[in-house]
Amino acid sequence: MNLWIALRHHSLARFSAVLLLIFYVTVFFADWIAPYDPYISEASAALLPPSQIYWRDHTTNNWIGPHVYPTEQGPLDLETGDRQMEVKWDTPVPLGVWVKGDPHHFLWWTSDRHLFGTTNTAAKFYVLGTDDQGRDQLSRLLYGGRISLSIGIVGIAISFPLGILMGGISGYFSGLADTLIMRFVEVLMTIPSIYLLVALAAVLPDNLGMTQRFLLIVLITSFIRWAGLARVIRGQVLSIKEREFVQAARAMGGRSLYIILRHVLPQTFTYVIISATLVVPSFIEAESVLSLIGLGIQQPAASWGNMLAVSTNASILILQPWLVWPPALLIILTVLAFNLLGDGLRDVLDPRNLSPEDSGLSS
């Protein structure tokens, strides 16, 4: 079935699919889109608000096109807690497209060209402002998106094969194997996932690298996510194994594992596809929660979760809201998009909901 055509009656699901595609393509090409290195700090640029774009020269009022002015942090006002920005109004710096900037490593080559930015180094263009270390917020969002968006994909790549296989074995063989697997599944499902995540993440060594910590978080999350899928797959396999084509394969001497992998489990793929789109948000949320409380991805590495950790500071919420809303909004949109896409796929792939013309769509 052509899912894209079948989703024509689900405008929200199609919009969600397009939005997710944009997110994944954007973070994949972050090296070209991000204007600055997300790890380089500048003390004089700490907590700068989003840069304002000007079109006319501030001193002469002549039209010179889009430009910004060099801006630095001024002294702190002890009464209000605010800082006065020091702007060099006599140095307009033009903005451009496909400009040279900090060299970023993209896959197997290094690129010093970026989608947009200032045409010289006299000033920088901070679309979403800077954090407390003077790092560009937009660049950190783009690079952090690689972690936050990939953790769900890697998570289901680990947990789903395990859940499908264990559920298939449990449902097909029944007996002792079914009893042992299902009792273990029930034990896992009784453990509150967030408390287990916090407990396991808390014992991770502090000197772990970003990649090691990322993989351990994925493994921990995957360990508690496969149980629910295994239980549902078991129920489906109990029904599927009594069908004629499975009985025929068994009568022809097919091995049990071959029958499970070749004939039984493929019949559950419709549910698996739908479930995958609904489970990915839980991995993203788990990483965000762990990073928010300081047990996930650690600074200076960026993820949407640890970027949102600044929201625990009330002064940041009031004085620097640009540090909080972008990562929060991206997490909300991503989770909502996956859920809406899953709802649309569930409606489309359910044979009871197919119209006559949809049922005849070719793949």
In this structure, are strands 63-68 and 71-76 parallel, antiparallel, or unpaired?
A: unpaired
Angle at 26 between CA 141 and CA 122, to 5 degrees: 60
pLDDT of res. 313 = 81
Q: What is the DSSP letter of 72?
A: E
Cα–Cα separations (whole angstroms), residue 320 to 49, 174, 221, 291: 7, 58, 32, 20
H-type alpha helices, the chain: 3-6, 11-28, 30-33, 137-173, 175-190, 193-202, 210-240, 244-251, 256-259, 269-292, 304-307, 314-319, 325-349, 356-359
Structure confidence by residue, pLDDT tens digits, 3-26: 667 677 788 888 999 999 999 999
| Domains of the chain with CATH codes | 52-125 (no CATH), 140-359 (1.10.3720.10)
pLDDT of res. 349 = 74
- Rounded CA separation 131/302 (Å): 12
Which parts of the chain have pLDDT scores under 50? Answer: 1, 354-363
Ramachandran bin of 96, using left for φ above 0, alpha for ψ from -120 to 50, beta for the remaining angles:
beta
Relative orientation angle of helices 11-28 and 137-173, to the nearest 10 degrees: 120
pLDDT of res. 360 = 41
Q: Helix (H, G, I), strand (E, B), or coil: what is residue 76?
A: strand
Torsion angles phi and psi, residue 237, rounded to 5: -65, -35
Residues 6+ apart with CB under 8 A from 64: 55, 56, 57, 92, 94
pLDDT of res. 362 = 39
Residue 108 burial (CB count, 10 A): 5
